[in-house]
Amino acid sequence: MKAKHQRLILAVVALAALIGAGLLAASALKDEAAYFYVPNDVRTKGVEPGRAIRLGGMVVKGSLKRASDGVTIHFDVTDGKAKVPASFKGITPDLFREGSGVVAEGAFDAAGTFQATNLLAKHDERYMPRELQGMQYDEETHKMKADQ
């Protein structure tokens, strides 16, 4: 076999190995990817129960309730257009409170409640999800409205 053919075969084998490694990495990361949704996306597009996602929005004032076990909380997340019920079992971050922004990791159960496994509220007081910039929570109407 000529040297030219050997180099060609080596290049094809190297290319096939690179493609195989890329596909293997993509396959492994697919299961770990968590997509970001706001409540209106959940309402319009739908999310199948059990699929790992990130849900972002504002914690609705008056919706935060603690269960009798002392570690489970129930709350609603809104983006001003829709509201999603959520639940979390564990210790909440210090900045997690009603009227503040939150990104929750978890999945929806069959009843349509978001079961959070992690709350990401480790931001400063001025944090606002990109989708909600220019909005504020109206205490009287309990809805999101544009800043004046």
Q: Is 5 annotated as a binding residue?
A: no
Tokens 């009227």 locate to: 99
Q: Is 123 annotated as a binding residue?
A: yes
Q: For residue 63, is it left (φ>0), alpha (ψ between -120 and 50) or beta?
A: alpha
The full DSSP string for the chain is: --HHHHHHHHHHHHHHHHHHHHHHHHHHHHTT--EEE-HHHHHHH---TT--EEEEEEEPTT--EE-TTSSEEEEEEE-SS-EEEEEEESPPPTT--TTSEEEEEEEE-TTS-EEEEEEE--S-TT---GGGTTEEEETTTTEEEE--
- Classify residue 131 by its DSSP letter: G
Binding site: which residues? 123, 127
Binding site for heme: which residues? 123, 127
